Amino acid sequence: MQHLDHDRLVFLALGEIEADNGDSTHLDTCEDCRVEMAALQQVAGLGAETQGLSALPDPPEHIWQGIAAEISAAQALPSLTTAPRQQSVDQPISGPTPEQPISDPVPERTAQGPGSLRSNGRSRAGRRGWSRWAATAVTAAAAAAVGVVGTVSVLRPDDPAPAPTPAVVASAPLAAYGSTPPAATGDARVLDGGQLHLHVANLPSVPGYYEVWLINPTTMQMFSVGTLGGSSDALLPLPPNVDLSAYSVVDVSAEQYDNKPAHSGDSLLRGTLTG
Domain ranges in the chain are 6-155, 168-272
| % of the chain with per-residue pLDDT over 70 | 62
How far is residue 17's CA from residue 50's CA, in Å, rounded to a whole number?
22
Q: Are 225 and 213 in contact (CB under 8 A)?
A: yes
80-137 per-position pLDDT tens digit: 444 444 444 444 444 444 444 444 444 343 334 333 333 344 444 444 454 455 555 5
Q: Which sign does the torsion angle of CA 220, 210, 182, 179 carry? A: positive
CATH number of 168-272: 2.60.40
Q: Which of 204, 203, 209 lies closest to 258 in space, CA to CA?
A: 209
Mean pLDDT of the 165-173 span: 92
- Is residue 186 within a helix (H) or strand (E), and if so which, with residue range? strand 185-191
Q: Is 7 exposed, middle or buried (0-12, 13-18, 19+ CB in 10 A)?
A: middle
How far is residue 275's CA from residue 163's CA, in Å, rounded to a whole number?
23
Q: Are 172 and 250 in contact (CB under 8 A)?
A: yes
How far is residue 75's CA from residue 69's CA, in Å, rounded to a whole number?
10
Per the model's pLDDT, the better-predicted residue between 139 and 14 turns out to be 14
Q: Label the pairing between strands 249-255 and 267-272.
A: antiparallel
40-82 per-position pLDDT tens digit: 887 877 766 665 555 566 667 777 777 877 787 776 665 444 4
- Is residue 199 within a helix (H) or strand (E), and if so which, with residue range? strand 195-201
Beta bridge partners of 272: 249
pLDDT of 125 reads: 45
Residue type, 152: V
Q: Give the SS3 label for residue 238.
A: coil
How far is residue 192's CA from residue 139's CA, in Å, rounded to a whole number?
44
Q: Are 171 and 190 in contact (CB under 8 A)?
A: yes
218-262 per-position pLDDT tens digit: 999 999 999 998 788 999 999 989 999 999 999 999 999 999 999
pLDDT of 85 reads: 43
